[in-house]
Amino acid sequence: MEVTLRITSPSAAAGLVPVAICQPQQSISSKGIWLRDNPLDYPFPLIMAQVTLVLFTSRTLYYLLRPLGQTKFACNLLGGIILGPSLLGHKKVIREKLFRDKDAHLFEILSLLGTLYSLFIIAVKFDKNMLRRTAKNAWKIGLPGFLVPLAVSLGLAHPIGSTLPGLKGGMFFLYFSFSSFSFTFFPVIAQALNELNLMTSELGHLAMSSALVTEAIQWLSVAVHIVFTKKSPIHGILALVSLFALTVLIFFIVRPLILVIIKNTPQGKEVKEVYVVAILLGVLVSAGISDALGATPMTGPVLLGLVIPDGPPLGATLIQKTEFLVSELLLPVFFFRVGFMTDVYSFQDWGSLGKLQMVILLTYGAKIVTVTVAALCCKIRFKNGILLSLIMNIKGIVDLVVFSRWRSSKMLDQQSYTQIVLSMLLVTLIATPVVRFLYKPQIRLEPSSKHSRTRNIQSPRFNSDFSILCCVHNEESVRNITSLLESSNPTEQSPILAYVVRAVELIGRAAPLLLPYKKKQQQEGGTKKLKRTNTPTHQLMRAFWNYSKNSKGPVSIHAFTMIAPYNSMHETVCRLAEDNNIPLILLPFHENNQYTVGANVRAGIRQFNVNVQTYSPCTVGILVERGLSARLSVSHFSYNVAVFFIGGPDDREALAYASRMSGNPDVGITVFRIILRNKLKEGNTKEEEVEETMDESLVDEFKIRNMGNDCVIWKDIEVDDTVQLMDAIRNSQGDYDLVLVGRRHAEMSLRDEEMAEFVQNAELGVVGDMLASADFCGGMVNVLVLQENVELGNGAFRANSAKRSAKWTKFSG
């Protein structure tokens, strides 16, 4: 079959005959290699081969470079450059067989789809209220970090930019292109910090807040640029009016429909599939409309994403169903197109190259110096200031979209575009590994203050406040935690301050957050308060508030909502504990609700618990809920506790907690002290003697304090070896509501290294793991495993604690 294309030349007006060209219509798929057909001569198998090659290259680079601190953005872009004309694509055979110009438009459409949905996802994740919750010093760092580099770049625009032939968009474009080197887009910073596992760190929070300060200015300048780069002023005005009309349509017609969908979705349920499909289709429709109106195709999806509330139910569902496909399949195609448009062989005018490179370096350098100086003025350590400035110079997909648009519009020539892209890539390749390997999240940004000291249960006096930080993942843990709080003996002389943190995994949001719950309620409108009363978080917090009112002693509840990734959630918890001098953190065991929680969530909670044990500034208790909660009611409360004391800092924390409980007349305590006869005969090292002295001191203090207390029973059990020790514990069963034990013990045979193959849950320790199993009380008793902060105390036992904790962190790696 032949298709006749009739082309009229410019000379047709002079009466010349039009030229007719006949070209055979090409099939999109191959007939097969058995008919000696080359599949790469046809569009469909060629596109499949290109996509496969792109994905394989990008994933291979990410696998190799990720241990070196590189992000997916850098690896994907580097893969595109390797396959492009700068390296492999420069060879004639590869260029003619795999990357033919006539098939480039198909690949460009795929890359555009990836860009549309990626920007839509970025907009959905964006929290519109984040500007109210910017970190301390964000304005002091973010504003000068934007304005000073902007002034430097604009100051160089006229004397240097006017001499660059590669920038062809006029003076306005010249000023805008130079100013874009100073931009720091919030989504780019958030994505990079997420890959570096620094989103919840102090540095990460400050970097995202600083980038957010000028986010609106940067996006507004991008929108204005769309108008002023039109060839005709009339076209620019029409595009601006049309863009405003599209914004009004989306915000005042589409947004109410979105809110109706959310309102009609039952609490805890996902949004219906039909709504998800309709919104994803709306991304394409809005892109087509914005492109037809004279704006970029990306404008519509960004506006649509901004009207969708982040987080569950709708935002989280959209992210879960689309993000993986977009980031792992479509985005690498976009980065390949960028790399394919980058050609190092286009470097011809070395004078222009040097001038443009000077502008880029001066702008990046101005941002580094300004951010570092601003950080020093905010009393942030010099090292952390440098790392913050490097983060603020990281580039990403938003920058590439802007520069690629200029290249497609012929505003940038090949040399200038290649130079800008390579400069972005080089800065990112340097910044991310430096930040990853030099920044220590457990070290505070500012120099040590009065708050930066480690604490344990033994440190508070009996006539002072006793603070406990309780992390809660679901409502099932409330009864056991409130029973534990009540047993902790709140009195007028020593009230309990409970910091209750509802921990939620970060899904469908761009950045983590920690908010006081009451404050968050007040920020919502009055009509939305009633809607929030049925949320799991509100019901959970209401249960704690009700307990606080009905407790026999003074218990103050400080409620927080924490939304963060599980792998870095511990940083927020540890900072909260350090800032408030909290001596004890309570964590639910990851298997407490194994029948109602998925395997991935349990693995995330387990990693979170281990991370808190490793980096906590205070004592950490993991609460294993195996039995029913205590008999707690408004009129009566009773609680039976067993304590196993073998020796060591963690067991001392368990005994100290039991000592506090012993002041509560409704709590019965049975202490089993395990004494090894062989250890008494053997000579001890100096460190072991110190440990034994501290053990005896606390034991004597406990006995003196509870002399004449009928609710406390003390039992000494002598054993010869570890086998008898474990048997003695198994035989000490009773009607207990809770068992207290330390995670680590002074006895060498009970160390993690010695018993690793027998322990199923290393975070519980050897004895704690056995107590939580069916071997003790049929697995029907609650167990609280305590671990003192690894930096407290003296001796070799404590010196190796951090190493052992780090070793056990590897189980989920």
Q: Which of 792, 198, 201, 439 is nearest to 802 (CA)?
A: 792
Q: Give the tens place of pLDDT for each residue, 145-183.
A: 889 988 888 888 778 877 777 777 667 677 777 888 888
Q: What percent of the chain has pLDDT over 70?
A: 83
Count of helices and strands (H, E) across the chain: 33, 14
In order, the DSSP letters of 660-694 are HHTT-TTEEEEEEEEEEHHHHHS---HHHHHHHHH
Residues in contact with 78: Cβ distance below 8 Å, sequence separation at least 6, in sequence order = 61, 65, 339, 425, 429
Say yes or no to pLDDT of 44 above 90: no
Mean pLDDT, residues 554-561: 90
Q: What is the band of 471 on the pLDDT scale with cuts at 50, 70, 90?
A: very high
Is the pLDDT at 660 greater than 60, yes or no? yes
pLDDT score of 628: 59
Give pLDDT, residue 533. Answer: 54
pLDDT digits (tens, 9 = 90+) for 381-419: 899 999 999 999 999 888 888 888 888 778 788 888 899
Asked if 490 contacts 551 with a C-beta cutoff of 8 angstroms, the reply is yes
Which H or E element spans position 206? helix 202-213
Could you tell me if 164 and 352 are in contact, meaning their C-beta atoms sit under 8 angstroms apart?
yes
Give 673-712 pLDDT, tens digit per residue: 988 876 655 556 777 778 888 888 899 888 998 888 888 8
User: Of 547, 552, 543, nearest to 490 (Cα)?
Assistant: 552
Q: What's the start-to-end Cα distance of the chain, in Å? A: 59
pLDDT at 530: 35
Q: Residue 753 pLDDT > 60, yes or no?
A: no
| pLDDT band for position 523 (cuts 50, 70, 90) | very low
Question: Contact at 8 Å (CB) between 267 and 535?
Answer: yes
Question: In sequence order, which ranges of 66-103 are alpha helices (DSSP H)?
Answer: 72-83, 92-97
Nearest to 410 by CA among 636, 165, 215, 210: 165
Assess contact for 221 and 182: CB atoms under 8 A. no
Instruction: Give the pLDDT of residue 13.
Output: 46
pTM (two decimals): 0.81
| Amino acid 644: pLDDT | 92
SS (H, E, C) 134-147: CCCCHHHHHHHHHH
Q: What does the radius of gyration of the chain's CA atoms come to, in whole angstroms?
A: 32
Q: How far apart are CA 645 and CA 587, in angstroms?
A: 21
Please say if the pLDDT value at position 82 is more than 50: yes
Residue 38 has pLDDT above 80, yes or no: no
Mean pLDDT score, 537-556? 86
Q: How confident is the model at residue 527 (pLDDT cuts 50, 70, 90)?
A: very low
Instruction: Go through the domains of the chain in sequence order and give each one's CATH number.
Output: 57-438 (1.20.1530.20), 455-519+536-611 (3.40.50), 626-793 (3.40.50.620)
Higher local confidence (pLDDT), 637 or 74: 74
pLDDT, tens digit, 9 for 90 and up, residues 560-586: 988 888 888 888 898 899 888 899 999
The answer to whether 655 touches 699, Cβ cutoff 8 Å, is yes
Residues 203-235 have pLDDT tens digits of: 888 888 888 887 777 777 766 666 666 666 677
pLDDT, tens only, 270-300: 788 898 999 999 999 999 998 888 777 888 8
pLDDT at residue 476 greater than cutoff 50 = yes
How much is the average pLDDT of 728-753? 78
Tokens of 121: 């996802």
